[in-house]
Amino acid sequence: MPADTKSDDLALRPDASCDKPALVAVIPRDHCVLIPGPVPGPVTQHDLPRATETVTPTKDSVACDDTDSSSHWRRDVVPPEEGDLAAAPVSLGRGLPSFAQSEFYTIVRRQRRQRDSEGLEMKVPHSRVPHLNAEWEFSGWGSMRYLDITPEDRRDAGTRLSAPRDSEVLGYLSAISVSGNDVSGSVFYAFPLVFAAAGIYSPFCLLTASLLLLVFRPLLLELASTVRINGSNYVYLLQFSGKMLALVGAAATLLDAVATSTVSAATASAYLVAEIRSMPISTTSLTVLFLIALGILALAGIRESASATAAVFVFHMIVMAALMVASIVHWATKDPHSTILKQNWASRPGTSLETVHALFYGVCIAFLGVTGFECTPSYIEVIRPKDYSSILRNLILISAFLNTMLSFLASALLPLSSIIDRQNVLSALGSLTGGGWLHILVLIDAVSVLLGGVLTGTVTTIELLERMAQDRILPHWFSLRLPVTGSLHIATLFSSGLSLLLYVGSGMSLLTVSYVFSIAFLSQMLLFAVSSLLLKLKRPRLSRPPHAGMFTLIMAFLVVIVTWAGNIVLAPIALGVFSGFFLAVLATLLVIGAQPTFLRLFLFFCSAGPFSGWAMTAGWQRRLVMWYKSRRAARVCVWLKDDDIHVMLRALLSVQKNAPDAGTVVFIHAYGSIDTIPSELHPNARLLDEAFPTITVDLAFVSGNFSPALVELTSRTLSVPCSRMCLISLDRDHPWELAEYGGVRVIV
């Protein structure tokens, strides 16, 4: 061989010295391999490399010629010494090694070079990987294990999944009341705004706005059937897109829930102070007091909070029914000729263009009167699946009936000028039709149902914070519970603190908070449409029995965009105020979720600075490294069906992008028998482990068929929550739906 031949080249050429066609491989010093197959002819000294070579017979060798069984041999090539730079050709037979055999022999050769007597575990300094910039970036080598799962464990897992969860599920009345108080309570603050824009056409605008929710109901049913997890748009976008869009959804959901609590408390305070002139407390102080008191009530737990909201909801329905009956009786007895209604009708817009403007802006404002509908997916885990569809339908019917009937009765019995000028329209209606007792009853109902809206926003915020803590986007102490009530006390206190911060940050102005609330609600509805679109485009194979068509999806987009544009035209400042708060919340979530990235950059800056070698800085640099490693101590599991390295690579890249805190990725394969385990799964996992030195790639095998019970059992065995488990995809003919896997994510 010429002296200038590069040791990294592998040349194959015909061997003229052999009787049978063969190939000669020029094997570099660092690439000696064990080659199965027959020896084509007598081995001469020229054919041997400069290494000790032993030739032993074996029955397991792969034969090149089936007729000559005596030629089955295995050649073990011991690599040359480090100082020997020569490489000699080795004569090969027609039976070239397979890829799996070559990979195995490469691993064995590396262990011999490192003199490692512990098998396949690589104990090599990080310098083997040249693209590591610092030693502390190296996360360690992975391992392989078979999970020991007994039949008793399988039975227990099946029992846990099939056991009734009545203690964790809300009843129908409690479930509908959490969002129902918000939906039905809009009559206390939406009427003056809608009447100011639409006048006598207000009942029609309020009815149209309520019926527009029918467009969004199929979208919410489709999303819930696919992902039945608390968190609303945050969870949907996390499943169908990635972490960045999920944080956008989290910021919008969080801002909508906090604004719901703040607006409800501020409106209740304004309503109470306006009716009771001798109140010894101001509207601002009363709003702060309401937010603190309702936060303390939420510490009693979601079931107790739902019981309180259910009582408020029932009381509200009774009072509204009494008000409607009293109004109808008063209309029939005191104004049988509908004089006031005719006067109000005479004040309608005179031209067609003015009528169109009144109807358009009236519907845009009235659409905000159905807020609360978007909060239902935030606590879907405590709603029975069979109840969810009817809850959404009944919320729409309640909104349509109450808003239309009460607005029509108000326009028939009260002059438009008094409706527009008064904050408490229904109190005035009750005073006119029923006297003082009905006036007081409506006042009590208004305050109670608005405070129920505070609980709705608090519950939505709590459930979202808990989900984000389980996904390790927020610190784990957001998911801590009180031992007595089981309430998420840290999340509850944080929710009340955010509401107070929003109120103070808006200058304690109800109008400013209302701007944030209006755009936040429309943003939530827009994100529902975006989530449904991403589900159809990026997860088309997922099973979802309530399927929303593309026409419904397009209509939802149009409804949100048109109403959003109308509200911004009416109040341009609304977009600016919302954008400021939204960007602040989003930036906070990004900073919290990117702690490992910021720590890594800071450590690089410190190590490259002039003070990196100072003795006084060595201690805190070590502490920063320990903090960095603790922030990347999380594990993410990925379930694999086969050994396709392309799929494994995409899964690893997805975890690296969306879970920066994951220092370990565990590939899990469920097998029926040992013979069905893909042959290249272990070599490919080791290859990826070396290719990604900043992530430890483990491999685990579990016996059984892939099912929710097996996932739940594996989650307990590995101490990894289901929300940190991922899978590639689920076919439409899969016997279980994604919602049954308790939060498992689809990543590719």
Instruction: Give the pLDDT band (50/70/90) at residue 394.
Output: very high
Let me know if residue 663 belongs to a domain: no
Residue 161's pLDDT band (boundaries 50, 70, 90)? low
Specify if 655 maps to a domain. Answer: no
Q: Are 212 and 301 found together in one domain?
A: yes
- pLDDT bracket for residue 668 (50, 70, 90): very high
Classified as helix, coil or strand, 23 is strand
Residues 482 and 369 in one domain: yes
Residue 103: pLDDT band (50, 70, 90) is low
Asked if residue 402 and residue 365 are part of one domain, the reply reads yes
Same domain, 399 and 459: yes
Look at phi and psi of residue 35 and say left if phi exceeds 0, alpha if psi is from -120 to 50, else beta.
beta
User: Number of helices and strands (H, E) in the chain?
Assistant: 24, 12
> Do 358 and 371 reside in the same domain of the chain?
yes
Return the amino acid letter for 267: T
Q: How confident is the model at residue 108 (pLDDT cuts 50, 70, 90)?
A: low
- C-alpha 249/C-alpha 252 separation (Å) is 5
- Boundary-marking domain end, from 630, 649, 683: 630
| Boundary-marking domain end, from 542, 564, 592 | 592
Percent of all residues in the chain with a pLDDT value above 70, rounded to a whole number = 77
Residue 607, in any domain of the structure: yes
CA-based end-to-end distance of the chain: 49
Q: Residue 297: helix, strand or coil by DSSP?
A: helix
Using DSSP, state whether 540 is helix, strand or coil. coil
- Residue 709 domain-assigned (yes or no): no
Q: Is residue 701 part of a domain?
A: no
Whether the predicted pLDDT of 329 surpasses 80? yes
| Gyration radius of the chain's alpha carbons | 35
Say yes or no: 500 and 562 in one domain: yes
Going by their DSSP bridges, the two strands 696-703 and 662-671 should be labelled as parallel
Residue 84, classed as helix, strand or coil, is: coil
Specify whether 512 is located in the same domain as 606. no
Tens of pLDDT, residue by residue over 590-649, are: 888 777 777 777 777 766 666 656 666 666 677 777 777 777 788 899 999 888 899 999
692 belongs to a structural domain: no
Read off the pTM: 0.74
Tokens 């449409």, residue located: 529
For residues 338 and 544, the answer to whether their CB atoms sit within 8 Å is no
Whether 360 and 425 share a structural domain: yes
Structural domain total, the chain: 3
* pLDDT above 70 for 305: no
User: Domain containing 604: what range?
Assistant: 595-630
Average pLDDT over residues 409-417: 90
Q: Cα(77)–Cα(282) distance, rounded to whole angstroms?
A: 90
Domain identity same for 419 and 451: yes
Q: What is the mean pLDDT of the chain?
A: 77
The amino acid at 536: K
Residue 80 domain-assigned (yes or no): yes
Model pLDDT, residue 528: 93
Distance CA 83, CA 89 (A): 18
Question: Can you give the CATH number for the domain in which 257 is found?
Answer: 1.20.1740.10
- 333-373 tens-digit pLDDT: 988 888 899 998 988 888 889 999 999 999 988 887 788 88
Q: Does a structural domain hold residue 414?
A: yes
Q: Are residues 556 and 616 in the same domain?
A: no
Across 96-121, average pLDDT = 53
Indicate whether 295 and 342 sit together in one domain: yes
How far apart are the C-alpha atoms of 368 and 365, rounded to whole Å? 6
Q: What number is the average pLDDT over the span 70-80?
A: 35
Residue 196 and residue 222 in one domain:
yes
